[in-house]
Amino acid sequence: MIKDITIGQYFPGKSAVHRLDPRMKLLLTVLYIVMLFIAKGFLGLAVGIIYMLAAFLMSGIPIRMMLKSVKPILPIIVFTGFLNLFFITTGDPLVEWHFIKITTGGLKTMVFMASRIILLIFGTSLLTYTTSPITLTDAIERVMSPLKVIKFPAHEIAMMMTIALRFIPTLIEETDKIMSAQKARGADMESGNVIKRAKALIPILIPLFVSAFRRAEELALAMECRCYHGGEGRTRLKQLKTAPRDYVALAVTVLFIVAVILLNRFLPI
């Protein structure tokens, strides 16, 4: 039931992609984005497609989940696609009708841009599908920790994310309870126009906020009792360790980027 909701979009598994060091996965994702953005031609893009295909097949993530990840971005893809199609007028004309003019250049750009955006979404989704939110938080803290010298609050941000993740299910459960309680008192939350329904949320939000503040106070006390005093001098139970496979993955990724650069130079189509 409501207790079983998954946070984020993590898809548990034991594949090679899942087992990569999360810090390395973060780095690889950034490198992949770079790869996509430096590719100038379709051949370069094809390299990106091959890379994605390989990672996807290794991860064991169902194809339907990958497709689902693109859905929210679809309007943007369609919109930019139309812009590219109608407003780029390089290359040979294909269709000319009144003021509408479609050229091969426009068509090419449309396909190119759309593929790039889709690959971008695939890449970042694969990261969040194969890495649990908590591991990701951990990785972000560690990757960011050098920034502590310039007073960047890496530990604090990670701590807040962890606590948020920890309390999401608790608060959802609580919302459920409050809703039932208010419904039992005759609150009507399903009918009426938008304003009416928004107003019906007030008797749910207020108790929820009050309880969240009370929880926050108690949690802070419990943390203090357990010697919490910020990130200073803190050790961790789980040390992240890079394994040979992390470096293999890095080397392969770098090779792909080199391939893209070479294609850009010698076969920019």
Partner 1 sequence: MEKFIEIKDVSFSYINDYDDPPTKNTVLKGVTLDINKGEFVAVLGHNGSGKSTLAKLLNSINLPESGDVFVDGMNTRDEDKLYDIRRTVGMVFQNPDNQIVATVVEEDVAFALENIGVEPSEIRKRVDWALKKVGMYEYREHAPHKLSGGQKQRIAIAGVLAMQPKCIVMDEPTAMLDPIGRREIMQTITELNSEGVTVVLITHYMEEAARAGRVVVMDDGKILLDGAPKKVFSQAELLKSVGLDVPDVTDLTHGLIRAGIDLPDDIISEDECVERLYQLLKKE
- Contact set for partner 1, span 148-177 (CB under 8 A): 162-163, 165-166, 169-170, 173
CA distances (Å), origin 126, targets 23, 32, 89, 121, 123: 14, 11, 36, 8, 5
Count of CB atoms within 10 A of residue 217's CB?
10
Among residues 14, 235, 266, 269, which is the contact residue for partner 1, using CB under 8 A? Answer: 235
Q: How far is the CB of 154 from partner 1 (least distance, A)?
A: 15
| Cβ count within 10 A of residue 64 | 7
The reply to whether 224 sits near partner 1 by the rule CB under 8 A is: yes
Burial class (CB in 10 A: 0-12, 13-18, 19+), 70: middle
> What is the signed CA dihedral for 227, 232, 235, 236, rounded to 10 degrees?
90
Min dist CB 223 to partner 1, Å, is 6
9, 180, 255 from 27: Cα distances, Å? 20, 45, 15
Nearer to partner 1, 156 or 218 (CB): 218
Kindly state whether residue 226 participates in binding partner 1, applying the rule CB under 8 A: yes
Provide the mask over 121-140, with x wherever binding to partner 1 is found by CB under 8 A and - wherever it is not. Answer: ------------xx------
The yes or no reply on residue 191 touching partner 1 (CB under 8 A) is no
Smallest separation (angstroms) from partner 1 to the CB of 233? 5
- Residue 188 or 218 with smaller CB distance to partner 1: 218
Q: What is the enclosing helix (H) or strand (E) of 62?
A: none
Instruction: State which of positions 57-116 bind partner 1 (CB under 8 A).
Output: none
DSSP 2: G
Residue numbers at the binding site for partner 1 (CB under 8 A): 3-4, 133-134, 162-163, 165-166, 169-170, 173, 214-215, 218-219, 221-229, 233-239
